[in-house]
Amino acid sequence: MTRSLKLQKIRFIVPSHAGLIRALAYTANLDTTLGQGPLYIFTRKQVYSLQVPVTRTDWIAANSNNQPVQTVAQINSGAVGEDGIVHVNGDLFYQGIEPSIRSLTVATRWYGQWGNVPISNNVNRALQFNDRSVLRRAPGVYFENRMLEGVLPKQTPQGVVCPGLLPLDFDLISTLDERQPPAWEGMWTGLDILKTFTGDFGGRDRCFAVTVSRLDQSLDVYEITQLAKNDDNGTDHDIRIDWYAEFPALTWGKEFELKKLHSAEIWIDRVFGTCEMAIDYRPDAQTCWTFWDKTEFCSARNCEENVDIPCGYPLSNVAGECYEFPIVFGEPPLDKSTCNRRPTNVGYQFQIRLRLKGFLRIRGFILYAEPRMRAVYEDLNMQQPCVSVPALGFPATSIGTLPT
């Protein structure tokens, strides 16, 4: 007796204008008004929600009369790829093609509220240079209350790598006090990251990055951790980290009054080992930074580096963190602005940047300026007009010349 087995093929499709399916993801759902947790189908332009049948029998029995319900979850923007989708607290964070970073919030929303919009305006300085042709391979991961999204992807013989990570810090919402929105922490650089992933090692979560070496193009594995104070490349175990911090432009609440930059105070603590600090500034809307000053300080890391504390046996290697309250920088040197005739230390607003090397924590920052009196029509002379307009391919008679 011969029995033939007939298999039934079931297909689910999305509208053609939404683009190709880029990723499939699910999330937790505790809202009973939305029913059972759905499967989210990410396309290039939209996100769909599908109520997946629970059992295999339900899948086989599905037909035109009892098809699983598929709805539009987000109509504005979809995901570029599956590697960049990160699960955080029941929501899904992902990269869009604009470029942008978005979140799919799983909750009931009234239509009087704003919809799901990009949340990455603070890091557009990096996102605007993304190569969209390989953006779908940019990795993403959630670790130690931070989301890390790959940025600036580029193609290499070993695969698509990202030379930077965009960290989104969720510590501001991890409190019983008044909660603040999560904060972007700039960009982490230094490695060409091929893939990021997390794992459970004896009950402890650890995060790793598979990278492509910039020296010999070999594949390396680095651990991402907050415990180490210095970098470790396998050969040198004590590499001080280069980093910088940009502060907001300050006006002292007097946007239309001219000021002269006077001095600055930096309050820091948790100084570990040797640290170097350089300070730059820029007035008003100037794009280039002007060097101000630099300094260096250190703290003994253990008893072997401190002659005042005798070492016991065995050697005591307790971290010797210290603080510096305050570090004072005097009046900046005179320099001519590249955009106008004023000195760079005279302006309406000033922004500061600290360039650092080593381990420390910035606790406070104070910038001092004094009013700079000026006449009503001071430095208000007209610019000299051009003699003629450069040729742009038009007849000379149609353009003419400007008066001298």
pLDDT in tens, 152-181: 999 999 999 999 999 999 988 888 888 888
What's the rounded Cα separation, in Å, for the pair 259 and 261?
6
Q: Are 27 and 40 in contact (CB under 8 A)?
A: yes
Which long-range contacts does 385-390 make (Cβ < 8 Å, 24+ apart)?
Answer: none
User: Rounded to two decimals, what is the model's pTM?
Assistant: 0.78
For 65, the token pair is 């009369």
**Per-residue confidence band for 143, with pLDDT thresholds at 50, 70 and 90:** very high
DSSP one-letter string for 375-400 = -TTTT-PPPPPPSBPPP-SS-HHHH-
More confident residue, 107 or 271: 271
Confidence (pLDDT) at 296: 93
Where does residue 48 rank: exposed (0-12), middle (13-18), buried (19+ CB within 10 A)? buried
Q: How far, in Å, CA of 104 to CA of 44, rounded? A: 14
Lowest mean pLDDT among 123-137, 171-185, 240-254: 171-185
Q: Furthest-apart CA pair in the chain: how many Å?
A: 108
pLDDT at 213: 94
Instruction: Determine the average pLDDT of the residues in 377-382.
Output: 58
Residue type at position 96: G
- Please, what is the Cα angle at 402 between 398 and 404, to 5 degrees? 150
CA–CA distance, 151 with 131 (Å, rounded to integer): 9
| Alpha-carbon span 297 to 326, nearest angstrom | 12
Pairing of strands 21-26, 183-184: unpaired
Write down the mean pLDDT value for the chain.
82
pLDDT at 401: 42
pLDDT higher than threshold 50 for residue 255:
yes
Give the count of alpha carbons within 13 A of 218, CB side only: 5
Placement of tokens 């000026």 in the chain:
374
β-pairing, 146-151 with 21-26? unpaired
User: Residue 296: CB partners within 8 Å, gap ≥ 6?
Assistant: 274, 275, 276, 277
Rounded to 5 degrees, φ, ψ at 58 are -65, -35
pLDDT band at 7 (very low <50, low <70, confident <90, very high): very low
Per-residue pLDDT of 296-341, as tens digits, reads 988 887 777 766 666 655 555 555 788 888 899 999 988 776 677 7
Distance from C-alpha of 43 to C-alpha of 21, rounded to nearest angstrom: 4
Length of the chain: 404
Of 2.60.310, 1.20.1270, 1.20.140, 2.60.120, which CATH number belongs to 246-371?
A: 2.60.310
Q: What percent of the chain shows pLDDT beyond 90?
A: 45
Q: Where in the chain is the domain with CATH 2.60.310?
A: 246-371
Q: What's the CA gap between 346 and 340, in Å, rounded?
A: 11
CB 401 within 8 A of CB 386: no
Residue 167: is the preceding peptide bond cis (ω within 30°)? no
Single out the residue of 230, 231, 265 nearest to residue 359, CA to CA: 230
Q: How many other C-beta atoms are found inside a 10 Å radius of the C-beta of residue 74?
A: 21
Read off the tokens for 54: 């629970």
**DSSP structure string for 194-224:** EEEEEEEETTEEEEEEEEE-TTT--EEEEEE
pLDDT at position 31 over 70: no
